[in-house]
Structure 1
Amino acid sequence: MKSKYTLLYVVLIIACSSFATNRDCEYVGSNIEYITSQTKKALTETDLNKTKYQIYKAINAIEKTRVKLNDCGCSYASKNLFEGLDNLILATKTSSIAGARVLINKALEKTALSLESLKEHHTHQSKYQADVLTLNTKNSEKEKLDSKEARDRELRQAIDSSLVKFEKSLEDVITTVDCEEAKNFIIEIKNKCDQALLNDELSEGKKYFNLRTKVIATNALTKISNCH
């Protein structure tokens, strides 16, 4: 079994080292999902110090998302997320769990709005970019952009292809390994992807790779959500 796990990690590492692409808003969305999960964990704690510990983890994740938010360019997502950050900071200064939870829930509302704004931004931005290309871009500039988009698309396809074997191996783990053990293993992969996506120094290729790996792991978890 250890050899099977080792093989999966080797597949991940080899594929991760080879590609580059740009998906800033997708990375932000993934980070916001992680921020939301950490914030929700704070609500489950019954000890104030442990509650604040989880809050600080969410705050730290938001701070690490600043650069990606700027690169993404979604001002509404930034506004909502940082308003949520203000609520979390206030929550760390409360003297009761009840008071902290009020602020945590407000932060979660803002985080949800941030993610919603991000999804709308993706649609609007695509339309805006198409309009700009049609109205303002010279032919030579448009050709360069088209060429870059084609290269990026090919790179993304190559990364996706490199993960096919990993996805199949993960399915094999689900069917052959003890349910709880398989679930914990997949959760570990997902958590590593979450942590990696918070690293601003990660190359664009590795960002996309971790994003896709996280999606594969998340889908795998839905197949074994209830272990008996």
Structure 2
Amino acid sequence: MTDHPSVPVPAPVREPSWQVQSLLLAYPDEHFPWRVRLAHRTARLLPGPVAAPLLRFLDHAAGTGTEELATEYVGVFDHKKRCCPFLTYYACGDTRKRGVALLRMKTVYAAAGLRLSDDELPDHLAVVLEFAAAEPEPGRRLLLEHRAGLELLRLALHGASAPWAHVLDSVSATLPPLAGDQRTAVARLAAEGPPEEQVGLAPFALPSYLPDPVGGRR
């Protein structure tokens, strides 16, 4: 997990909340202070449930140097498999099915006129959000298709006390609550992990999403 896309501002931006989240989930490089300033200006204009967690992250970023934040980013996203920012990993794991899923996402992007650079994977959450900001309808469909993975990532980031958990809280606030089948998918991923993944994600699952000890569901 070493791809760190630097996400430029696309034009036009139709959904600023997704654009701000995308900027903050990209690797904190030399352009990060500029992204933080832009995010501050935009976050104040967003609905409260979306803006509040973003402002919590921005408060943390303001008190942390870019170099320190970059080190933390690598420690979280590159070295904690449960905090994988590549969404197809949750549904496909490290299997050949993931290649098919990546190709499908590239096809969706291409249909909207977006071409990725060679060092960008289409399922990095920052890239998906950038696309959704410019193309809300297909972008929203992609986010909803990976709703269970997004929830597992959000829980894992909270479990790791990572500041980017606040950004995932903001992303969740832009989407409908988890439906029944999505809760089932979260519970399955939490218990079993992605395909061919031996280490489960149970420590980060919400108790209400897991079966109770007698086999029922809360």
Normalised TM-score (structure 2): 0.29
Report the structure number with the largest CA radius of gyration: 1
Relative CO higher for 1 or 2, CA cutoff 8 Å, sep ≥ 6? 1
Normalised TM-score (structure 1): 0.28
Higher helix share: 1
